[in-house]
């Protein structure tokens, strides 16, 4: 692998991010105004940072102008990722019913093109939620696409019968290291802002960033993931696994889930360059990535290749 590269004073380490296969879907939320859209999205994507405990990784992919939504209203696209079809169905059905059906003026649509093969596994939306209509629900097929109209107290909740499930990738990542919290925060925020302009990806953690990066395994038998002590500054002097260098006192990680290999590469590239450009005072020192020697997943994103 090539030697490290330095961009605006930030060293890009010659290592790779390791990612794994997941199941994925896209949903479109609309409402009468942007505030209701935001409220529905916030509710549906809440507690959706990591499959380690949340069962799903879910976040807004991008806002949608009225001309880009099925019903001509303000909207947003949401991407969701899970490790199994069973978990995906459980999470999406519950969140659709508890978080979008309940939100005033909202509607929920499939965000994957109708050209998806019928043989592909589908996730129920209206198929499951219609029973809330207590027999008053109505379905209609338009150009081969079935919709449900469920009576609610502000009118009707409209939703697709189901949505396609596709293959996705989870766990693309970069780790930013610096001399202080301000430098790493600035770099992470610049990176996430740039990544959010890339379609087909999400960064599911708070603000797109996690300070609790994890490793596979634990000294405790009940945990299959635990703190990544190699990047914990308080363990620098006591942990033989520490990978922190002189002047590196803070590390934060950005995890990227995507619908394709290319999308994750594009997001990582955009994020790395944006983070480096934020390094105004030279206190952001290094960008690396998390991997487990190839034991976690088959998708490897070498940082030097990504930025090349």
| 5-19+167-307 under CATH 3.30.70.520, yes or no | yes
Instruction: List, for residues 60-81, the tens digit of each pLDDT value.
Output: 999 999 999 999 999 999 999 9
The tokens of 276 are what?
């480096």
Q: How many CB atoms are closer than 10 A to CB 42?
A: 12
The rounded distance, in Å, linking the Cα atoms of 140 and 143 is 10
Torsion of CA 24, 26, 29, 34, to 10 degrees: 100
What are the residue boundaries of the structural domains of the chain, listed by start? Answer: 5-19+167-307, 23-166
**CA-to-CA distance for 299 and 29, rounded, in angstroms?**
31
* 3-class state of residue 146 by DSSP: strand
The parts of the chain modelled with pLDDT lower than 50 are: none
pLDDT digit string, tens, across residues 197-248: 999 999 999 999 999 999 989 999 999 899 999 999 999 999 889 999 999 9
C-alpha torsion sign, points 263, 80, 291, 238 = positive
Q: Do domains 5-19+167-307 and 23-166 have the same CATH topology?
A: yes
What's the pLDDT score for residue 277?
98
Supply the pTM of this predicted model: 0.95
Domain 23-166: which CATH number of 3.30.70.520, 3.90.226.10, 3.40.47.10, 3.30.70.1150? 3.30.70.520
For residue 2, the 8-state DSSP code is P
């Amino acid at each position: 692998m090539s030697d490290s590269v330095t961009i605006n004073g930030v060293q890009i380490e010659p290592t790779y991010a390791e990612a794994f296969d997941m199941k994925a879907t896209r949903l479109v939320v609309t409402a009468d105004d942007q505030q209701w859209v935001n409220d529905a999205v916030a509710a549906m994507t809440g507690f959706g940072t990591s499959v380690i405990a949340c069962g799903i990784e879910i976040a807004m992919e991008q806002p949608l102008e009225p001309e880009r939504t099925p019903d001509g209203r303000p909207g947003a696209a949401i991407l969701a990722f899970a490790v199994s079809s069973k978990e995906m169905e459980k999470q999406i059905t519950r969140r659709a019913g508890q978080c979008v059906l309940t939100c005033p003026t909202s509607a929920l649509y499939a965000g994957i093109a109708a050209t998806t093969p019928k043989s592909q596994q589908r996730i129920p939306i209206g198929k499951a939620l219609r029973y809330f209509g207590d027999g008053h629900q109505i379905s209609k097929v338009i150009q081969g696409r079935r919709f449900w109209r469920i009576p609610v107290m502000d009118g009707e909740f409209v939703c697709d019968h189901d949505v396609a499930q596709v293959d996705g990738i989870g766990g693309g990542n970069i780790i930013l290291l610096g001399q202080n919290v301000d430098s790493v925060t600035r770099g992470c925020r610049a990176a996430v802002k740039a990544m959010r302009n890339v379609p087909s990806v999400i960064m599911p953690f708070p603000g797109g960033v996690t300070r609790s990066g994890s490793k596979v395994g634990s000294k405790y038998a009940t945990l299959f993931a635990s703190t990544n002590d190699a990047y914990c500054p308080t363990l620098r002097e006591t942990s033989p696994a520490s990978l922190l260098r002189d002047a590196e006192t803070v590390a934060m990680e950005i995890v990227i889930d995507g619908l394709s290999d290319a999308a994750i590469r594009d997001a990582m590239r955009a994020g790395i360059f944006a983070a480096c450009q934020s390094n105004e005072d030279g206190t952001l020192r290094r960008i690396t990535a998390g991997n487990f020697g190839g034991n976690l997943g088959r998708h490897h994103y070498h940082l030097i290749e990504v930025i090349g």
